[in-house]
Amino acid sequence: MTADVVVTAGELGRRTVRRSDFVSCNQAFIDCRTPGSDKKENYSMIGRGVSQSAGQVVNLEEEHGFNIGAAAMPHGVTNNLHLHFTAEVFLCFRGEFLLRWGVNGDEGELVLREGDIASLPSWIFRGFTNIGPDDGWLFTALGMDDTGGIIWSPSVLEEARGHGLYLTSDNQLIDTVAGDELPEDDALITPISAEQVAALRSYSPEEMRRRVVTTEDIPWSGDAFLDRHVPGGGVELGPVIGYGMTEHLGHDPAIFNPHGHNLAWLRARPGTGVLTHRHPENQVLMVKDGEWEVTLNRTEEVSVRLGPWDILSVPRNAWRSIRNVSDTTATMVVINSGDGRTRMEWDPEVVRAAADAGDALDHNGYLAPYELVPRPLGG
């Protein structure tokens, strides 16, 4: 039996990252002086991500199995072409972005709008520009604890040199304008060669579109959890990446391939949520809109209210319940570590209430009629 993990009020406060706690860095990357890219802001809420600045503030540094960050960009500002070694997922919470890919940005283009989520394949160059009228905001979920950093397009590195910026082979930013000493040439990163670029996989616009989940594409289901017919339960789940927490046998995610984490939308009417449960993965809750109350522990309960863009990290095996305390329907993004299913353990009271409503979980952890699921003698 798994031991209870009790979260103190102080620990809950430490794991709560308010929107007002976000700290930007405008020198996180080598293109920070490139005209048209010099006004972008980088954020690292959970883990350092791929930031190349020693001055990057990280709100929560401990390992989760993935990293959470953000890019904030005024209209017309560009994030230049680069590639990642692990999954990069964009969550557009505000604005409109033109996404392009290929070493020269000419293999294809797609537009991301508010509410869209895009999973970018590893080992392809990508960049994006805010084409919306206002400041845009992209949250990012990066696979693994150690992302390996990034590889910049050779043209980006060349232009940065003209502004006094260099990158070492261990991914450290050297700013000669600020007085950094330039190391020996063999300590600087070597741009990727034309032959190496030619060996990278290409993606057509049609292939890339299948990795973008718009608000119209979300596979919502109100039958995703055991508490679907229990008072206070009955939320809708929309799995975007990986099967994640769904307990509905026929509930497929929009994107299947392994990311090191799974990601889903959660939508709840006022007064409803997910009743008391736990699971063995690190979990991050990111509020899109509305106000939510999250309560941890079965005894000595501690609670926090989260508003738009607030983030909460819930530790492995901690009991938790989630409830929409707004007066309108609200949404959040739920991210769990791991590539497999996130198998939930429900509070015994929830299990009994679900049984009274005719629901049980089968031996594979999926919803089934209570009367048809075999139980131990006396169970």
Residues 269-322 have pLDDT tens digits of 999 999 999 999 999 999 999 999 999 999 999 999 999 999 999 999 999 999
5 lies in some domain: no
Local confidence band at 379 (pLDDT 50, 70, 90 cut-offs): low
Q: Are residues 123 and 95 in the same domain?
A: yes
Question: Could you read off the pLDDT of 52-107 as tens digits, one per residue?
Answer: 887 899 999 999 999 999 999 999 999 999 999 999 999 999 999 999 999 999 99
SS3 call for 195: helix
Tokens representing residue 37 in the block: 């890219």
Q: Are residues 257 and 168 in the same domain?
A: no
Tokens representing residue 353 in the block: 């209430």
Is 354:226 a contact under the CB 8 Å cutoff?
yes
Cα Rg, the chain, nearest whole Å: 22
Q: Among the three residues 213, 248, 270, which one is the final residue of a domain in this structure?
A: 213
- pLDDT of residue 28 exceeding 70, the answer is no
As a residue count, the chain comes to: 379
Angle at Cα 349 formed by Cα 344 and Cα 354, nearest 5°? 75
What pLDDT score was predicted for residue 32? 78
Q: Are residues 154 and 239 in the same domain?
A: no
Dihedral of the alpha carbons of 284, 46, 76, 82, in degrees to the nearest 10: -110
Pick from 18-22, 172-176, 260-264, 314-318: least confident: 172-176
Q: Are residues 193 and 110 in the same domain?
A: yes
Q: Are residues 172 and 79 in the same domain?
A: yes
66 lies in some domain: yes
Q: Are residues 58 and 177 in the same domain?
A: yes
AA identity, residue 198? A
Distance of alpha carbon 190 from alpha carbon 6, whole angstroms:
49
pTM value? 0.94
Q: Are residues 287 and 144 in the same domain?
A: no
Segments forming the whole domain that contains residue 45:
31-213
AA identity, residue 56? Q
Local confidence band at 109 (pLDDT 50, 70, 90 cut-offs): very high
60 versus 31: which is more confidently predicted? 60
| Mean pLDDT, the chain, whole residue set | 95
- Domains of the chain: total: 2
Q: Among the three residues 161, 190, 213, which one is the final residue of a domain in this structure?
A: 213
Q: Are residues 40 and 170 in the same domain?
A: yes
Q: Are residues 37 and 186 in the same domain?
A: yes
What pLDDT score was predicted for residue 108? 98
Distance of alpha carbon 307 from alpha carbon 59, whole angstroms:
17
SS3 call for 5: strand
209 lies in some domain: yes
Task: Please list the residues that pair with 71 across neighbouring strands.
Answer: 42, 138
The residues, any chain, with a CB within 8 Å of residue 178's CB and separated by 6 or more, are none
The CATH number of whichever domain residue 240 belongs to comes to 2.60.120.10
Distance of alpha carbon 368 from alpha carbon 379, whole angstroms:
16
237 lies in some domain: yes
25 lies in some domain: no
Q: Which phi and psi angles does 108 have, rounded to 5°?
A: 175, 165
AA identity, residue 312? L
b vs e for 181-214, b when ≥16 Cβ sit within 10 Å of the residue's Cβ?
A: eeeeeeebbebbeeeebeeeeebeeeebeebbbb
Q: Among the three residues 161, 184, 213, which one is the final residue of a domain in this structure?
A: 213
- pLDDT of residue 182 exceeding 90, the answer is no
283 lies in some domain: yes
| CA nearest neighbour of 44 among 27, 19, 29, 61 | 61
Q: Are residues 69 and 133 in the same domain?
A: yes
| CA nearest neighbour of 132 among 71, 89, 74, 72 | 74
Tokens representing residue 83 in the block: 């590639």
